[in-house]
Copies of this chain bind each other. A is one copy, B any other.
Amino acid sequence: MEGGGGGGDHVQSSGGNGNGNGNGNGNGGSRWNPTKEQINMLEGLYKQGLRTPTAEQIQQITVRLRDFGHIEGKNVFYWFQNHKARQRQKQKQDTYAYFNRFLHHHPSPLFPLPYQNVGCSPCYMAAPKNEGQLYHHYPKVLPIPAGNYSKRPTLIPGSTSQSQRYNKPMHKNQEEHHHHHQETLDLFPIHPTGILQSRSGRIEIDSNPCPSSSSDQNDGLNSDTNIQYPFFDFFCGKGN
């Protein structure tokens, strides 16, 4: 939408065609190009209130829409994401314009002022420009005191006292604290020969060349599933 907004109407004649999609088969690699039917259905769902379908819903929708042309789950997902975001964006502009007018010259009291909180809260209320929807958007609270990111000082459950986690992004201050110290040794040892055995924080140098736990799922789990001894390899440019 950055384009600014024209009146474009992507009418794509997918009329009776099974798929107006160019990549229908060859998988051309191009991006998904929804057919008119698909768009219609998606919009219908959106209008009905669907905004963030779950994975299952997405699958179901995908299956349904597949009758009208090639489509994948991610297409549906992205469609909703984009549509929602752009609707919001549009509305934001409208809201802005609305207030703009309002602020400039106070019109008569008969215009549909959303609520009473005009100008009381830092957040702006969406203009009443609902397309006959049952809901309105934008309750959105204002940007918070953008302080530091570490709002969650909690250690990862299960993390050992020693292995401190990177709770949250910190201020750009402390990170550069130390200059190039040699503490990088742990992670980026320079000696090609040995693997360090000290486990700094989470890095765990395991002499075991083949950890059995490679379940992707648990990777973030508290266990030290991540064995990253080979770091030095990577950074030393010597794969092995």
Contact = CB atoms under 8 A, between A and B. Distances in A.
Interface residue SS majority, chain A: loop
Contact of A222 (B139, B162, B170): B139
B93 A60 contact: no
Contacts of A165: 52, 54-55
Nearest to A155: B55
Given A54-B163, A119-B29, A77 B156 contact: yes
Contacts of A135: 210-211, 214, 221-223, 225
B132 A203 contact: no
Contacts of A63: 100, 106, 180, 183-184
Contacts of A200: 54, 56-57
B59 A97 contact: yes
Interface string A40-79: 0100110011111111111111111010001011111110
B118 A74 contact: yes
Given A51-B221, A73-B118, A222-B139, A231 B111 contact: no
A124 interface: no
A115 B168 contact: no
23 contacts: A27-B119, A44-B235, A49-B226, A53-B202, A54-B155, A54-B165, A54-B201, A55-B92, A55-B96, A56-B167, A56-B200, A58-B166, A64-B184, A64-B235, A66-B108, A72-B97, A73-B118, A74-B120, A77-B158, A85-B219, A88-B220, A137-B222, A139-B221
